[in-house]
Structure 1
Amino acid sequence: MSSTPKRPPDRDEDLTARARIRDAAVECFARHGFDVTVRAIAERAGVSPGLVLHHFGSKAGLRETCDEYVRQTIRETKTEAVTAHGEQTFLQQLAEIDEYSDLLGYVLRSLQAGGPMAVALFEHMVEDIEEYLAKGEEAGTIRPSRDPKARARWLAANGLGSITMLFTLQGLGPDTDFRELLRRATHDIMLPALEVYTEGLLTERTMLDAYLLYISDPPEEPR
């Protein structure tokens, strides 16, 4: 007597479960660091640990998926912001800033944890910045750079470094309210950052011209 064949899982339901696990993992990693267990992530997602492993193979595989998701979300948000000529896109993103708190917490945890995955995440984010700034140049909202790669790396280090410092001084723990910290950081950083990026800082070109002259014909090093 043959058994009744099992119905294959519904694809939409399967994808929904995968996304739910991914979102729960981003939140858990952001709040508790990368030592959090697969079981804890599964409980947060409302699924079994086995289903987590079914979709991602391992916790390392899940983290790789989270890395890519966080990068993609930040890249799309930044691209939209830097290519928009009107103010509505930026104001809408400010109004929805709480939605990005776990993403930022995830990036901070990764940078603090260090190691190859943190290095890879940072390098990929540098590539993303170069990409969306290039789109901003095409849209006429971003000034061209003499060295787009160097500019992207500086912006990544400067932006992530300043946020990391502010959050680290506050102390990151399992009860950290990333939404409140993000609101506070936005209040403290947004105005001076926009002033520097939009209006500039120096009133004359003396240092830039001197440096351009220096790198075009650097002095010989003493033997």
Structure 2
Amino acid sequence: MRSAQPDPTTRERIRDAAVLRFARDGFGASVRSIATDAGVSPALVIHHFGSKDELHAECDERVLAEIRAVKNESIDELASGQGILHRFAAADEYAPMLGYVLRSVQDGGPVGRSFIEQMVEDAVGYTKHGVEAGLVKPSRDEAGRARYLTLSALGTLMLEITLNPPTDPADLGGIVRDFMTTSYFPMIELYTQGFFTNRRMLDEYMLYVPDPPENAATEPPVT
């Protein structure tokens, strides 16, 4: 039976140990290994959380809240003219969070899917924050853009790790640093300067979408 008022310090220590263990080993990690990492007994983990599934759910909430906080803080810093390079230097600090997200993508299933969908929903919120702060251009489809940005970022990271597996999969900080080295400059340049030199493709597509031609399936529009 769980205590009505569990010690928050112990509970947080168990939760944070679980986030790191799940990030390194996946969600098949045992309660015993998490308990060892947290310096408690397996029975105490169950005492606080009831089951590993409930611990997993609380870890999801913690990681999602941390992502929201980091994104919104970064937007505020940029909007106020501050630099954010200090965040790049803190790769080891964010590594467990990113590793946890990757495990959620790899795990799939209803829980993993729910986690990613919540990431997309949160992205709509902090992208709106960026628009209101004058840092991000508004979109005709804010939800669609947030979904694309979230899934493309996760897909890029997953492919990078798949094509170039890390020497030590447990070195989450090294994985983050390698990804920053290969991907952050082209990503930031693309987001900042755009890709096309004119808006012809967008204008043509916007004409096509609301009233597609009857023969669109066999005769694509001429470009």
> TM-score if structure 1 supplies the norm length?
0.90
% identity of equivalent residues:
47
Q: Pick from 85, 90, 94 the counterpart of residue 91 of structure 1.
A: 85
Structure 2, gaps ≥5 residues long: 218-223
Aligned to 2:18: 25
Residues 195 and 123 of structure 1: CA distance in aligned 2, closer, same or farther (over 3 Å): same
Q: Which amino acid aligns with 1:164?
A: M
Cα gap change, 1:89/1:73 in structure 2, threshold over 3 Å: closer, same or farther? farther
Measure, in 2, the Cα distance between the counterparts of 1:173 and 1:58.
Answer: 33
- How many equivalent pairs are there? 213
1:14 to 7, 16, 28: 7
Between 1:24-33 and 1:160-169, the stretch displaced more is 160-169
Match of 2:127 in 1: 133
Structure 1 gap segments, 5+ residues each: 1-8
Report the CA distance between 1:176 and its aligned residue. Answer: 2.8
How many Å separate the matches in 1 of 2:110 and 2:98? 19
Aligned-pair CA distance for 1:89: 4.9
Counterpart position of 1:181 = 175
Write the distance in 2 (CA, Å) between the matches of 1:19 and 1:107. 19
Q: Is structure 2 residue 58 aligned with structure 1 residue 65?
A: yes
- Structure 2: how far apart are the matches of 1:47 and 1:173? 31
**Runs of 4 or more consecutive aligned structure 1 residues displaced over 6 Å after TM superposition:** none
SS at match of 2:69: helix
Supply the distance in 1 between the matched residues of 2:111 and 2:211 (Cα, whole angstroms). Answer: 38
Give the whole-Å Cα distance in 2 for the aligned partners of 1:132 and 1:17: 31
Distance apart, 1:168 and its partner CA: 2.4
CA contact (8 A) 2:166 2:175 kept: no
CA RMSD of aligned residues (A): 2.0
Between 127-136 and 164-173, the greater mean CA deviation after superposition: 164-173
- The aligned amino acid for 1:128 is D
Check the 8 A contact 1:80/1:89 in 2, yes or no: no
1:175-203 residue CA offsets vs partner (Å, 9 max, x unmatched): 53111111010011111111111110110
Q: TM-score, normalised by structure 2?
A: 0.90
